[in-house]
Chain A
Amino acid sequence: MSSLAVPGKVRSGPARTLRVIWRHRAIYVMLAAPLLYFLIFRYAPLWNAQIAFKDFSPIDGVMRSPWIGFRHFLTFFHSIYFGQLIRNTLGYSLAKLLVGMPTAILLALGLAETASRRLRSVVQTASYLPHFLSWVIMYGILLGLLSPGDGLINDLLKRAGLQPIAFLTEPRWFPVVVVVSDVWKEAGWSAIIFLAGLLGIDTALYEAAAVEGASRMQRIRWISLPGILPVVVVITLLRLGNILDAGFQQIFVLYSLPVYSVSDILDTWIYRSGVLDFQLSLASAVGLFKGVIGLALIVTANRLAKRVAGSGLY
């Protein structure tokens, strides 16, 4: 605590901190513009989100609308669809994570391990293409494949003598369609990140392992996978934080009355009840609810990740 009387050097205390800050002054300048963005476009709207606790009237504005506490949250919790919404939302998020991430990693490994440069280039390009399609467009593709009347898959089924399946309107199949189509669309894109990570691993490690006699599988297991672990952890944590965002765009475009029970997620409900029905405070309340859950998950998962995998989000 007490600084030694060494001339010219300050050991500890506020003066030292100031010097460190001064050394990093360029960084703080760099932070200025991004932080300004966050202040205006991320935190100011959050300030507006207090209407979740108010009876918001556009005439009165955010500040003058009266407080009503948790009433909107209770409306939300008491909705007859509350349980279903949570189940669907969590279900889709987890399913997409558990199916999508390993698929992307597998694809990245395949691309990294192949000897044929041609094959890698072609497959990589083809696999990321679906990412560029918006869901509005994907709906057309899926209809062309899955419609019971003349979809491609049902055409094949009929030729094989089987009954056509109404993939998009059968509650048993719809979740499968959602998850598989999402993986189809995003796996190639996610694989890019992992592939970039894999290609960045020091070749010396592989050579050393080969010399020791390790097989390809062993090299993958012990070098490649740990090498991309930090990226995997970051992405997984981020997706956990967003676990109550199950993909509004996709569901909104694909869902229809026959499958509401297995497709309605929090965001589609907010859209109908909050925005379309002009219950703005309710929409805000649900948004805050999502945030609280996401925060709890990330904080827990981050702590776990740091302990187990050695790296975390922050």
Chain B
Amino acid sequence: MAKRLLLIGTVALLATVVASVAVAQKNVDLEFWVGASVSEAGPPPDNWRAYQIVRDRLGINWKIVLLPSTLGDQDTKINAAAAANNLPDLFQVNRDAWYKLAKAGLLAPVDSLLTAMPVRTMTHYDDVVARKMVTLNKVMYGLPEPGQMPMTDGFVVRKDWLDKLGLKEPKNLDEFMTVAKAFTERDPDGNGKADTYGFGAYLESSGLQQAGLGLRFEWVFGAFGVAGTWNTQDAKSFGLNARKSEFLKALQFIKGMVDAKIMDPDWNILKKDEYRARWKQGRWGMMHENFAALSTVANYKDFDKNFPNGLWVAPPPPVGPEGKSAENVLLKNVRVQAISQRAAKAGKLGAIAKLLEWMAHDEGYILLGFGYEGEHFKRDKNGNITVEGIPAEKQWTAKAQQPFTQLRNLVFINTDVELKARYVPFKTNNGRLQDPLAYWNAFRSYPYTDSTGAAIINPPANAADFVRYYSENVMKFVVGQQPLDEKSWTDWVAGLDKLGAKELEAAAKAALTEAGFLD
């Protein structure tokens, strides 16, 4: 009897061991390199519920690595891993870098994935233009996540300064200059010091799409009809905006701004954080800023503390001499999630699809996007996300809880529920109700230069030199380090041609025509 029990016991033990080994072996190891949503907060804690669920129910051992905070560091880390053919299973990458990796054959085609995750494909990847952006030779080599909202940046003015000086919102470029001069010279904050300026900006150029002076000045180029690097109005006129004479006029206007000293003199050495710190200190009265950075409760509070009666309004972008205007150039913006060829060869595509699909709806979506229900947030009677009744440090928007929602990039698709949860109206220090989404809606209602297709233009081999030549000379023109006239501008364009501008335009035109963006 005892012997039989012993035998049964041993068999049972062996079976358990074999089964658990089998189960353990069934678990796939996946490593994701994620673009953190809040770079200083760190990855989710080890006891994060998502890890458990994914391991037990989906059979995946999930490892999350946060990418470095700056784009340069990100690209360096990714490119180094690429060089060693050691890319992780899934990683976020900017489009220009993605293109090089795809060309080198390091990325896996994702078409098989799309069929394996129907819900996600429908909610995330239904945008035809976005799909074109990650397509090379008719095959998709990455997943175009839609996370970034369009038309988020626009032209804004200090209304309280306008009122104090008895001025109206500027409608065109001439009025802009008048208001700017008034802001600089007539002490609109009434503190007796000459410490205010009309316009504040900083250089935000990166890559070919944002070459030149960058985002903060696009409205000027828009007023002349040449917003953005590329002119994609139609097949006949397609080319670099730099060739058009309106481009020269736009440059001359900006130079006029610099010469009239209506801008904060540090404008071309400021970094983003200093730029933001300065307008909160009341340095200038007009700028082109991101609506969330301007008006959400976390970002507005410093400005509110310093200037309780301050008020930023969003008038339409000033109109140029030909009656044109644009807030910005409209480019399709996606966050590319790439999958390494190594992962595909190791047969991990199925597991990746499972994981991505899980986080595209219901449980996974909520967990990654907002945290634990009941602990970090609640639902109100309409099903919206709210923090009513949750103590301040436990709210999903609190600093201490940021690690839980670091993977927002992978789940947010800008639904109404999301937007209402992220951008909450609040009362300012003087009792005014401020709704961040109101700014965004205002921006969206104004003209934009549509250049959607330009997003699929691939960088040339000598991109670094080309972009430097472009941006550096634009800078020199504008600050007066070299003369700005017909001749010098023509010489500059000729220099671009020497660097292969014509070939670049030809290749771009072919790509756009093939993708159906030019008629």
Contacts and interface: CB of A to CB of B under 8 A. Distances in A.
Interface of A: 56-59, 61, 79-81, 143, 147-149, 164, 166, 168-169, 171, 256-258, 260-261, 264, 269, 271-273, 275-280
A195 B105 CA distance: 56
B475 A58 contact: no
A306 B282 CA distance: 64
B442 interface: no
A257 B472 contact: yes
B499 A80 contact: yes
Contact of B269 (A56, A147, A171): A147
26 contacts: A56-B83, A58-B104, A58-B106, A59-B105, A59-B106, A59-B341, A61-B85, A79-B465, A80-B469, A147-B266, A149-B264, A166-B265, A169-B269, A171-B481, A256-B203, A256-B268, A256-B269, A257-B471, A257-B475, A264-B468, A269-B464, A273-B462, A275-B80, A276-B79, A277-B100, A278-B100
Contacts of A166: 265-266, 269
Given A59-B106, A261-B472, A275-B75, A280 B83 contact: yes
Nearest to A277: B464
B472 A260 contact: yes
Contacts of B82: 58, 278
A283 to B, nearest CB: 10
B101 interface: yes
A273 B465 contact: yes
Given A258-B475, A277-B463, 12 more contacts: A57-B105, A58-B83, A58-B84, A58-B104, A58-B106, A166-B265, A169-B479, A257-B203, A257-B205, A271-B72, A275-B75, A276-B75
Contacts of A79: 462, 465
A80 B464 CA distance: 11
Contacts of B113: none
B265 A59 contact: no
B97 interface: yes
Contact of B85 (A58, A164, A168, A169): A58
**B interface SS class:** helix
Interface in B447-472: 459, 461-465, 468-469, 471-472
A interface: dominant SS: loop
Contacts of B269: 143, 147, 166, 168-169, 256, 258
A149 B275 CA distance: 12
B76 interface: yes
Given A80-B499, A257-B472, A278 B79 contact: yes
Nearest to A278: B100
Contacts of B476: 258
A278 B471 contact: no
Contact of A257 (B264, B268, B465): B268
A280 B76 CA distance: 11
Nearest to B101: A278
A260 B83 contact: no
A168 B265 CA distance: 12
Candidate in A61, A168, A260 with the most chain B CB atoms within 10 angstroms: A260
A79 B101 CA distance: 23
A258 B265 CA distance: 13
Q: Which 7 A-B pairs have the closest CB atoms?
A: A278-B100, A272-B464, A273-B464, A149-B266, A58-B85, A148-B265, A257-B475
Contacts of B203: 256-257
Contacts of A273: 462, 464-465
A301 B104 CA distance: 43
Given A58-B83, A261-B472, A278 B104 contact: yes
A278 B481 CA distance: 32
B268 A169 contact: yes
Contacts of A264: 468
Given A59-B106, A257-B472, A276 B268 contact: no
- Which of B97, B101, B469, B475 counts the most A-chain CB atoms under 10 A from its CB? B475
Nearest to A81: B465
A166 B265 CA distance: 8
Nearest to B81: A58
Contacts of B104: 57-59, 278
Nearest to B499: A80
Contacts of B266: 147-149, 166
A257 B97 CA distance: 21
A74 to B, nearest CB: 13
Contacts of B79: 275-276, 278, 280
A78 B462 CA distance: 11
Nearest to A279: B461
A220 B44 CA distance: 63
Contacts of A147: 266, 269
Contacts of A277: 100, 459, 461, 463-464
B475 A276 contact: no
A266 to B, nearest CB: 13
A183 to B, nearest CB: 22
B76 A275 contact: yes
Q: Identify the interface centre among B76, B266, B479: most chain A CB within 10 Å of its CB.
A: B266
A79 B462 CA distance: 9
Contacts of B265: 148-149, 164, 166
Nearest to B71: A276
Contacts of A56: 83
- A61, A257, A269 — most chain B CB neighbours (10 Å): A257
Interface string B270-293: 000000000000000000000000
A153 B16 CA distance: 75
B75 A260 contact: no
Interface string B182-205: 000000000000000000000101
A244 B517 CA distance: 47
Interface string B8-36: 00000000000000000000000000000
A68 to B, nearest CB: 14
A76 B473 CA distance: 21
A149 B202 CA distance: 14
A276 B101 contact: no
Given A58-B85, A278-B79, A258 B105 contact: no
Contact of B268 (A80, A143, A258, A279): A258
